[in-house]
Amino acid sequence: MNKLRKLVLASLAVPLSIALAACSGGTGTPAASSDASSAPAGPKSGTLTVWCWDPAFNIYAMNEAAKIYNKANPDVKVEVVETPWDDLQTKLTTLAQSQETSQLPDIFLMQNNAFQKNVINYPDLFSDYSDSGVDFSQFPEGVTAYSMVDGKNYGLPFDAGTAITALRTDVIAEAGMKVSDFTDITWSDFIAKGKQVLAKTKKPLLSGQAGSSDLIMMMLQSAGASLFDAQGKPTITGNDALVKSIEVYKELVKSGVLVEVNSWDEYIASFVNSNVAGTINGVWILGSIQTAKDQSGKWALTNLPKLDGVSGATNYSANGGSSWAISANADHALAADFLKSTFAGSTELYDTILPSSGAVANWLPAAKSAVYAQPQEFFGGEAIFAKVLDFSAKVPKNNTGAYYYEGRDAVSAAITKILNGTDPAAALDEAQKAVEFAMK
């Protein structure tokens, strides 16, 4: 470990009370202490500013949480600022480097795979949950681990990223198939069936954003594989599961079963506008799928294809998942109480947001809700969320490492080169060196 990293890690031990006393992002009572339990009894008042993304999912969930919290605390205002993930990460980096922490919101959402690295690199941006009153034993240990540094929780887990295959039943029926034909299959089976659907309907089964490695990351995790070893060292070169995943992706594109698009908005539009017959992504994608009201009853869910000939391959994976951070600039007592009372304490919240957004909770008490077993009209009357819970229990664990996004971005660049004719081994070797350089 180099000296700079040691200094950064050491700084995590510095109490944040000085920063909390110096500035407060909320407009309520200033947080003289980070002990949420010491806040005065009775209704709270003040304003909480929140940065998060995705109107159909995270923003919707936060607004619903505000409505629930307002029942007991009508004088608390929650202002949500739509902030795409890439923009949010850029803002955090800029504010940390300029030391303009007064511009932080009270609460912001973080991708789980990026959480530890941000806390380690920018500790002055975060408050920990030590005195929040949140019971973290009510969350899966593997999920809370994403946002823990030196034994402290810096994030409150929100949504599960369990991966699903979502298909248009009416489209695949034109090719003489049903969703059971895509259940418990391999990727070679999926491509063969996708070719049949394309020939009969002229519609690809899938779409994906060009230059993104999300689908390949899901393939990797489905086999319990990763871009990093147990010590966090990159394993991009000579990674058999990665090579196989890239081969599958290349064949998906070459066959036309997957069409690449240029942006996230185009990706969403591809299935909302019926240009493709399905998608594979984290369950959170259901919020976007259900914006196409005219497609109600025409979708079904199943598990993922598994990699052919790869040891440990399964039909289950995950993509994404996120956690709520409390900034060092926050009205800590108010922010902590709000999150504890909603995302870590309200079955009503999850019962409300689950059907329309697909927000499968990481908060374990929510899974006992009867809503999970209710038929969902949009998905052909099937109790899809009970199915997703079953999937989530079978997702293999893998080691993402603190430099997950550097690894993912390097592999994304390699995929583009490989699709354009670069030798796969050479492209992956270059990606390995890029990550090793970033880690220095």
Predicted local distance difference test score (pLDDT) of residue 70: 98
Indicate whether 335 pLDDT > 60.
yes
Q: Domain extents for the chain?
A: 3-160+320-368, 163-318+394-439
Residue 427 exposed, middle or buried by CB count within 10 Å (0-12, 13-18, 19+): buried
DSSP codes, 149-189: ETTEE--EE-B--BEEEEEEHHHHHHTT--GGGGSS-BHHH
**β-pair type (322-327, 107-111):** antiparallel
Two tokens at 333? 């007592």
Give 167's pLDDT tier (boundaries 50, 70, 90).
very high
Indicate whether 19 pLDDT > 70.
no
Instruction: Name the superfamily (CATH) of residues 163-318+394-439.
Output: Periplasmic binding protein-like II (3.40.190.10)
Hey, what's the torsion of the CAs at 427, 433, 436, 440, to 10 degrees?
Answer: -140
Distance CA 198, CA 90 (A): 40
Predicted local distance difference test score (pLDDT) of residue 25: 37
Predicted local distance difference test score (pLDDT) of residue 15: 32
Sign for the CA dihedral angle at 38, 64, 359, 59 comes to: negative
Give how far the C-alpha of residue 17 lies from the chain's centroid of Cα atoms, to the nearest Å: 30
**How high does pLDDT run on average in the chain?**
88
What average pLDDT does the segment 368-382 reach?
A: 92
What average pLDDT does the segment 388-411 reach?
A: 87
Predicted local distance difference test score (pLDDT) of residue 14: 32
Predicted local distance difference test score (pLDDT) of residue 16: 29
**Degrees, nearest 5: CA angle 394-397-398:** 145
Indicate whether 38 pLDDT > 50.
no
What average pLDDT does the segment 380-397 reach?
A: 90
Least confident of 34-43, 109-118, 272-281, 293-302: 34-43
Distance CA 260, CA 402 (A): 29
What average pLDDT does the segment 169-195 reach?
A: 98
Q: What is the pLDDT of residues 94-121, one digit of tens each?
A: 999 998 889 999 999 999 989 999 999 9
Q: Which residues of 162-171 are buried (b: 16+ CB within 10 A; e: fewer)?
A: bbbbbbbbeb
Distance CA 178, CA 167 (A): 9
Residue 238: HSE in the Cβ half-sphere, 13 Å Cα cutoff: 4
Type of residue at 228:
F
Closest to 299 in 3D by CA, of 178, 392, 163, 197: 178
Distance CA 210, CA 228 (A): 23
What average pLDDT does the segment 394-408 reach?
A: 85
What average pLDDT does the segment 243-265 reach?
A: 96
Give 368's pLDDT tier (boundaries 50, 70, 90).
confident
Predicted local distance difference test score (pLDDT) of residue 417: 94
- Which fold is adopted by the domain 3-160+320-368? D-Maltodextrin-Binding Protein; domain 2 (3.40.190)
Indicate whether 17 pLDDT > 80.
no
Equal CATH topology for 3-160+320-368 and 163-318+394-439: yes
Listed ranges 34-38, 149-153, 227-231; the one with the highest mean pLDDT = 149-153
Two tokens at 70? 């307002």
Give 41's pLDDT tier (boundaries 50, 70, 90).
low
Indicate whether 276 pLDDT > 80.
yes
User: Which residue's structure tokens are 């307002």?
Assistant: 70
DSSP run (H or E) holding 414 = helix 404-419
Indicate whether 24 pLDDT > 50.
no
Indicate whether 69 pLDDT > 60.
yes
Residue 4 DSSP SS3 = helix
Predicted local distance difference test score (pLDDT) of residue 359: 85
What is the share, in percent, of the chain residues with pLDDT greater than 90?
73
Residue 258 exposed, middle or buried by CB count within 10 Å (0-12, 13-18, 19+): buried
What is the share, in percent, of the chain residues with pLDDT greater than 70?
91
Predicted local distance difference test score (pLDDT) of residue 33: 32
Give 21's pLDDT tier (boundaries 50, 70, 90).
very low
Indicate whether 294 pLDDT > 70.
yes
Two tokens at 228? 């990093």
Give 224's pLDDT tier (boundaries 50, 70, 90).
very high
What average pLDDT does the segment 399-420 reach?
A: 89
Indicate whether 249 pLDDT > 60.
yes
Other CB atoms within 10 Å distance of the CB of residue 275: 14
